């Protein structure tokens, strides 16, 4: 390798990567805010359609075009973090998907971060992920998470327990995304990208 090629290889090895899985019925704010904030942090984000790379209709009728299908994205790992947006319809599809189960189990086995917001922690429950961890969620799935006996439930807006990051809903999504950035890229990066977004102090 020439010196320039060597530098490119080193930079690529240091690049942080995220996989955001987009299912029909996903909450669009949670999908877009998470993806946008991670990209502001210069994390290489792949927005993967659960079923294909075709546009996905979200919970309020907004259509989002994935970068690629989940099948394609699964060939491109590893990822530093796998992110599951919520929305009742989207979360149900994530919870029922064998491909999502495979992705999450592989991520957990590799000690990679798993992040889920709103109703999406129900997919963690369905696939047996993050057992014994403290999690939060939208109130609509709180009861099922508590009754499962698999988790300690928290009312925190964002909850991080080891490699698991969970949050409550659209209104907590900036905090959720910044929590992912801090876990994956560090607190200094959070400090750099927060001021231009004009978030409440």
Catalytic annotation, residues: 118, 138
Residues 6+ apart with CB under 8 A from 191: none
Helices then strands, each counted (H, E), the chain = 9, 11
Residues 184 and 81 sit within 8 Å (Cβ to Cβ): yes
Among 26, 73, 29, 27, CA closest to 48: 73
**Which candidate, 99, 96, 93, 98, places its Cα nearest to that of 56?**
93
């Amino acid at each position: 390798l020439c010196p320039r090629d060597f530098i490119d290889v080193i930079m690529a090895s240091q690049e942080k990567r995220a996989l955001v899985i987009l299912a029909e019925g996903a909450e669009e704010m949670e999908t877009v805010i998470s993806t946008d904030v991670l990209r502001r942090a210069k994390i290489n984000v792949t927005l993967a359609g659960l079923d294909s790379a075709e546009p996905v209709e979200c919970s309020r009728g907004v259509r989002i075009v994935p970068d690629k299908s989940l099948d394609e994205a699964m060939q491109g790992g590893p990822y530093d973090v796998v992110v599951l947006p919520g929305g009742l319809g989207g979360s149900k599809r994530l919870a029922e998907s064998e491909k999502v189960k495979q992705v999450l189990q592989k991520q957990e086995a590799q000690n990679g971060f798993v992040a889920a917001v709103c109703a999406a922690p129900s997919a963690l429950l369905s696939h047996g992920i993050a057992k014994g961890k403290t999690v939060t969620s939208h109130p609509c799935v709180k009861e099922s998470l508590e009754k499962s006996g698999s988790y300690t439930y928290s009312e925190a807006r964002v909850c991080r327990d080891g490699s698991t990051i969970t949050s409550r809903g659209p209104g907590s999504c900036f905090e959720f995304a910044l929590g992912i950035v801090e876990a994956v890229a560090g607190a200094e990066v959070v400090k750099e990208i927060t001021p231009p977004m004009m978030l409440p102090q």
